[in-house]
Chains A and B, each alone.
Chain A
Amino acid sequence: QSALTQPASVSGSPGQSITISCTGTSSDVGGFNYVSWYQQHPGKAPKLMIFDVTKRPSGVSNRFSGSKSGNTASLTISGLQAEDEADYYCSSYRSTNTWLFGGGTKVTVL
């Protein structure tokens, strides 16, 4: 069960938009609409940002949005802010109550 594939790092300037990809297979990302995205600041617990591919939990900024095409899901952060600098992880449901995470992407605000 290999991890989902994410770019190691993505960077952008304040105000710009960035997109983080998360590539899996037809057995996980492509087979279910159950992709989530988590934000993790150093030394902190992960925080849910997007679930079920496109849904935002209450309290999460609408600058964060999710999408999926085939076996690749994406997280877009628009209007990048300094506080968005963090690690981001995708996860996908696979089957029979099993989950897979991506390797994580470090977002740097230039």
Chain B
Amino acid sequence: EVQLVESGGGLVQPGGSLRLSCAASGFTFSSCDMHWVRQATGKGLEWVSTIVPAGDTYYPDSVKGRFTVSRENAKNSLYLHINSLRAEDTAVYYCARATGSSSWYTFDYWGQGTLVTVSS
């Protein structure tokens, strides 16, 4: 069974940093594209990063320079490091996967999310 479990969220002061983790199981993690998607309370989904098996990374302009996605295939783990946190980064952060068994262009499994709250 495919499982994605996020952790690392919490209350952080503006300007601080945080590292989110996503533990994967039930599939060949090293072969999948992995993504982070966030959702502010009561708002829509927003794609914030992608890392492919070779380690190339991609971000929207809105977070480029502050967000860093990484992966540790030996530990079946995905990470998101966020710097210079702002109030508008407050959201539930989901990890999701993409694989050629369905489509490289969709997010076929999602974790339950971890809440990041940026407030003083």
Contact = CB atoms under 8 A, between A and B. Distances in A.
Contact of B45 (A46, A93, A97): A46
Contacts of B110: 45-47
Contacts of A57: 102, 108
B31 to A, nearest CB: 16
Contacts of B33: 97
Interface stretch (B9-17, B55-63, B82-90): B55-63
B105 A36 contact: yes
Interface residues of A, number: 27
Contacts of A101: 37, 44-47
A100 B106 contact: no
Interface of A: 1, 3, 32, 34, 36, 38, 44-48, 51-52, 55, 57, 89, 91, 93, 96-104
